[in-house]
Structure 1
Amino acid sequence: MFRSLRNRNYRLFASGQVVSNIGTWMQRIAQDWLVLDLTHGSGTALGVTTGLQFLPMLLFGLWGGVIADRYPKRRVLMLTQASMGLLALVLGALAVTGAARVWHVYLLAFLLGLATVVDNPTRQSFVIEMVGRRDLPNAIALNSASFNGARLIGPAVAGVLIAVLGTGPVFLLNAASFGAVLFGLYAMRQDELHTAEPVARGKGQLREGLRYVWGRRDLTLVLVLVLFIATFGMNFQVTVALVSREVFHTGASSFGLASSMLALGALTGALLAARRAARPRMRLLIGAALLFGVLELVTGLMPAYWSFLVLLVPTGIALMTFTTAANATMQLGVAPEMRGRVMALYMLVFLGTNPIGAPVVGWMAEHFGARLSLVVGGLIAMASVLVVTALALPAAVRRPSAVLKALRPRRTADAVDASET
Structure 2
Amino acid sequence: RWGRRATLLAAHLAAAGLMAALAFTTHLALIAVLATLVGVAHSMPSPAFVAAIVDVVPEARRSRAFNLQFWAFNLGMAVASLLAGILAEASFTALFLVDAGATLAAAVVIALKVPETLTRRPALTPRAVAGRRPGLHTALTDRTFLVFVGLTFLLAVLTMQTSTIMPLAMREDGLRPSAYGLVVALGGALIVVGQLFVPRLIEPYRKSSVLAVSTGLMALGFGALTVADGLPLYLGAAVVWTVGQMLAAPPNAQINADLAPPELRARYQSVFYLTFPAASFVAPALGGLSLEHLGERHWLVVGALGLVAAAGHLLAGPRRERRVAALRAEAQRAGTVGSTR
1:89 equivalent in structure 2: 20
Q: Deviations over 1:223-245 (max 9, x none)?
A: 23212222355342223443455
TM-score (norm 1): 0.64
CA distance 1:189–1:345, change in 2 (3 Å): closer
Listed as ranges, the gaps of 5+ residues in structure 1 are 1-69, 394-405
In 1, the alpha carbon distance for the partners of 2:77 and 2:259 equals 29
**Deviation digits for residues 27-72 of structure 1 (CA, Å, limit 9, x no counterpart):** xxxxxxxxxxxxxxxxxxxxxxxxxxxxxxxxxxxxxxxxxxx222
Answer whether contact 1:227 1:350 (CA < 8 A) is retained: yes
| Counterpart mapping for 1:6-405 below 5 A | 70-94=1-25, 99=26, 107-159=33-85, 161-162=87-88, 164-165=89-90, 169-188=94-113, 190=115, 194-197=117-120, 203=133, 205-211=135-141, 213-214=142-143, 217=144, 219-243=145-169, 245=171, 247-251=173-177, 255-268=180-193, 270-276=195-201, 278=203, 280-299=206-225, 301-365=227-291, 367-368=292-293, 374-389=299-314, 391-392=315-316
Where 2:278 maps in the other structure, the secondary structure is: coil
Asked if 2 retains the 8 angstrom alpha-carbon contact of 1:261 and 1:310, the reply is no
Describe the SS at the equivalent of 2:139. Answer: helix
Residues 219 and 305 in structure 2, CA contact (< 8 A), matched pair in contact too = yes
The one-letter code matched in structure 2 to 1:177 is: A
CA separation of 1:140/1:91 partners in 2, compared to 1, >3 Å: closer, same or farther? same
Contact 1:247 1:370 survives alignment (8 Å):
no
Percent identity over the alignment is: 17
1: CA distance, partners of 2:134 / 2:114: 34
Deviations 1:374-401 (A, max 9, x none): 5532331123323454x549xxxxxxxx
Contact 1:148-1:264 at 8 Å conserved across structures: no
Q: Separation in 2 of the partners of 1:304 and 1:385?
A: 28
CA deviation vs aligned residue, 1:318-348 (integer Å, no higher than 9, x gap): 1131132111112134331121122122112
Instruction: Describe the shift of the 1:327–1:170 C-alpha distance in structure 2 as closer, same or farther (beyond 3 A).
Output: same
CA change 1:185–1:132 in 2 (3 A) is farther
Gap change, CA 1:354 and 1:128, over 3 Å in 2: same
- Measured in 2, the distance between the counterparts of 1:340 and 1:274 equals 24
Structure 2, gaps ≥5 residues long: 124-131, 332-341
The CA distance in 2 between the partners of 1:137 and 1:121, in whole Å, is 16
Q: Distance in 1 between matches of 2:160 and 2:18?
A: 25
**Amino acid in the other structure paired with 1:223:** V
| Residues 310, 177 of structure 1: alpha-carbon distance in 2 compared, 3 angstrom cutoff | farther
2:294 and 2:217 mapped to 1: Cα distance?
A: 24
Deviations 1:282-327 (A, max 9, x none): 1111111111111122145422224423432331121131132111
C-alpha change, 1:189 and 1:170, in structure 2 (3 Å) is closer
TM-score normalised over the length of structure 2? 0.76
Q: CA deviation at 1:80?
A: 0.8
* Alignment match, 2:338: none
Q: Distance in 1 between matches of 2:31 and 2:284?
A: 16
- C-alpha separation in 2, matches of 1:220 and 1:264: 33
User: What amino acid maps onto 1:126 in structure 2?
Assistant: A
Cα deviation 1:252-288 (Å, max 9, x = unaligned): x654433222222333553233445848521111111
CA contact (8 A) 1:93 1:172 kept: no
Q: Give me the whole-angstrom Cα distance separating, in 2, the residues matched to 1:336 and 1:173.
A: 37
Separation of aligned partners in 1, 2:304 and 2:23: 38
> What letter is aligned with 1:229?
L
Structure-1 separation of matches of 2:173 and 2:140: 43
1:414 deviates by 9.4
- More contact order relative to length (CA 8 Å, sep ≥ 6): 1
Q: In 1, Cα distance between the equivalents of 2:158 and 2:295?
A: 14
Go from structure 1 to structure 2 and tell me whether the alpha carbon gap of 1:276 and 1:85 turns closer, same or farther (over 3 Å shift).
farther
Residues paired across the two proteins, number = 319
